Amino acid sequence: MNQIEIGRGKRGRRAYSFDDIAVVPSRRTRDPEEVSVSWQIDAYHFDLPVIAAPMDSVMSPESAIAFGKLGGLPVLDLEGLWTRYDDPTFLLAEIASLDPSAATARLQQIYAEPIKPELITERLRAVREAGVTVAGALSPQRTQEFWQNVVDAGCDLFVIRGTTVSAEHVSSRAEPLNLKRFIYELDVPVIVGGVSSYTAALHLMRTGAAGVLVGFGGGAAHTTRLTLGIHAPMASAIADVAAARRDYMDESGGRYVHVIADGGMGRSGEIVKAIACGADAVMLGAALARATDAPGRGYHWGSEAHHALLPRGERVEVGALAPLEEILLGPGRMADGTTNLMGALRRAMATTGYSDLKEFQRVEVVVAPYQPG
């Protein structure tokens, strides 16, 4: 690896964000109609390689059903408004109308309401009964408390998602979650993250996870670089974790762990780049929160925005641009990468001559940072 000397006492790698790179055409082209963007993880097949992020601005039980029917994998946030309140509709309306200066404080209040285990059951059941493949998400801190409720309610995939999740969490106060044993004993496949380095990903893969989420607070609503000084540029992070997938497959005698890019993909071009760097699928937040039928009503926020002591994100206005179906499948009405996300992915693959996602991970990219103006 390309180590740079920052000063005599410190070295570091150059890391690349999506903005730093671009896909380049090659010598072959193909008809967009002959491109497949389907994706399979464990026993589950999806027409689209898209997971909806477990965030209250993106997923409600209702929008989860709609999203699943369009071909993606919805993930319910089991620590969000829908498991804290019987009917959070009026709160979603209130959040969308908050003055920016008051938003953080009010979010902290609203999310102070305790989680109700019976609502976990109810929300998951509602989506399952609609015939949609569904996943539920908990944070690593809450997994031990609520996982039984999740399993009892029944879900197809289980997601453990934090800003960063490691296979080795050190705590003297409580017995930390033993991921390896937990995953071994659980019947449903587990997707876990965020993770952003080769070594951390390899350790997570060894716990038996079916997929890992790559990212660290790179989304539109995060401010982790400003507040924590931590930043994992996505192009490099995905490429590192994809290498861990390859090495782990060799080490394990053939287990393929899915690499799911999570964060920083607000436009279709970034979804293309994520897969070009090695992702199998993408988890989208802001890109889906822009739907007119999204629960966020034109706004988007993550759980770090309502942290009681150290908020590391903000409620951001993303607009309500088009119905979810148009955002995913078109027809596009804007030329800015916000609608027909999957049409753009197909077109990018066709233009460079690829016919499926796995092959497209090998497409040529260049380093070409944006120049202002």
Site residues (CB under 8 A) for its own copies, limited to 3-32: 4-10, 12-31
Considering the rule CB under 8 A, would residue 344 count as an interface residue with its own copies? yes
d(CA 233, CA 305): 21
Q: Candidates 63, 133, 149, 352: give the one binding its own copies (CB under 8 A).
A: 352
Task: Choose between 43 and 226: whose C-beta lies nearer to its own copies.
Answer: 226
DSSP labels for 59-92? --HHHHHHHHHHTSEEEEETTSHHHH-S-THHHH
Considering the rule CB under 8 A, would residue 267 count as an interface residue with its own copies? yes
Pairing of strands 157-161, 190-195: parallel
Residue 129 Cα distances to 75, 132, 192, angstroms:
15, 7, 25
Say if residues 190 and 160 touch (Cβ distance below 8 Å).
Answer: yes
Half-sphere exposure (Cβ direction) of 293: Cα atoms closer than 13 Å: 13
Half-sphere exposure (Cβ direction) of 257: Cα atoms closer than 13 Å: 32
Binding to its own copies in span 225-254, by CB under 8 A = 225-233, 235-246
- Binding residues for its own copies, rule CB under 8 A, total 121
Task: Choose between 155 and 213: whose C-beta lies nearer to its own copies.
Answer: 213
Considering the rule CB under 8 A, would residue 170 count as an interface residue with its own copies? yes
Smallest gap from residue 346 Cβ to its own copies (A):
9
Stretch that binds its own copies, among 48-56, 145-153, 180-188, 222-230 (CB under 8 A): 222-230
Binding to its own copies in span 181-210, by CB under 8 A = 195-200, 203
Q: Candidates 71, 269, 285, 296: give the one binding its own copies (CB under 8 A).
A: 269
Considering the rule CB under 8 A, would residue 59 count as an interface residue with its own copies? no
Q: Candidates 50, 167, 183, 210: give the one binding its own copies (CB under 8 A).
A: 167
Considering the rule CB under 8 A, would residue 112 count as an interface residue with its own copies? no
Stretch that binds its own copies, among 128-136, 178-186, 248-256, 267-275 (CB under 8 A): 267-275
- Tokens coding 59: 């997923």
CA geometry: angle 332, 271, 300, nearest 5 deg: 80
Closest CA to 55 of 42, 67, 47, 71: 67
Task: Choose between 80 and 264: whose C-beta lies nearer to its own copies.
Answer: 264
Task: Choose between 132 and 138: whose C-beta lies nearer to its own copies.
Answer: 138
Smallest gap from residue 225 Cβ to its own copies (A):
6
Alpha helices per DSSP H over 252-323 = 268-276, 286-289
Considering the rule CB under 8 A, would residue 280 count as an interface residue with its own copies? no
Smallest gap from residue 130 Cβ to its own copies (A):
28
Q: How many Å is the maximal CA-CA distance in the chain?
A: 61
Is 219 in a helix, a strand, or coil? coil
